[in-house]
Amino acid sequence: MARGIVMGLGVIGVLAIATVSQAGQAKPAAAGAAQAAAKALKNPVPTNAASVEAGKATFTKYCRSCHGAEGKGDGPGAPKDVHPANLIDAKWDHGSTDGEIFTTIKAGVGPKFDMDSWDGRIKDPDIWNLVNYIRSLSPTAKK
């Protein structure tokens, strides 16, 4: 009888481990597909002075308090113990294509980095202008 109980518990344990293991694999696959879709997304807004200026206005209104006036991630409005991304350094934390930057702004970054989604609060064309402005902040951007 005791042997049957031990065997039963062993089977339940193996099934539980298999279920948890498969559930853990689904998330990376979904995340990978989402990242690929973001990477493939093309910016429909041409980079020009008007777009960059519109992006700067959006940045000043919504992003400056956390990312800082120059985009260095040093804004005074960032949540405690959170360091917003430096938008002018060579390292892109959440993808470097226009589509990845757009998706990061639209979907937000969490929970570790505490950047809320801007979906529904900033219109898509304004997010694309913001992408163009962020690109213009880079020291290697064509001025």
- Rounded CA-CA distance 18/135 in Å is 45
Identify the pLDDT of residue 1.
55
pTM (predicted TM-score) = 0.75
Here the CATH number for the domain that contains residue 109 is 1.10.760.10
138, two tokens: 């880079």
Residue 143 domain-assigned (yes or no)? no
What is the span of the domain harbouring residue 89? 49-137
Residues in the chain: 143
Partners of 115 in beta bridges: 109
Residue 46: predicted pLDDT: 97
Verify cis geometry, omega within 30 degrees of 0, for the bond prior to 139. Answer: no
| Chain-centre distance for alpha carbon 115 | 8
Residue 14, in any domain of the structure: no
d(CA 103, CA 78): 20
Read off the pLDDT of residues 31-82 as tens digits, 9 standing for 90 and up: 678 788 989 999 999 999 999 999 999 999 999 999 999 999 999 998 888 8
Between 69 and 2, the higher pLDDT residue: 69
Q: Residue 55 domain-assigned?
A: yes
Does residue 15 fall inside a structural domain? Answer: no
- Residues 88, 72 contacting (CB under 8 angstroms): yes
**CA distance linking residue 54 with residue 113, whole number of Å:** 26
Higher-pLDDT residue of 141 and 105 is 105
Q: At a CB cut-off of 8 Å and minimum separation 6, what does 65 contact?
A: 75, 76, 77, 78
* Tally of structural domains, the chain: 1
The predicted structure's pLDDT at residue 65: 96
The yes-or-no verdict on residue 125 having pLDDT over 90 is: yes
Q: Is residue 85 part of a domain?
A: yes
Residue 22 confidence class, pLDDT cut points 50, 70, 90: very low
Q: Look at residue 123 and tell me if it is in a domain.
A: yes
Which residue do the tokens 């959006």 mark? 58
Q: Which residues pair with 119 in a beta bridge?
A: 122
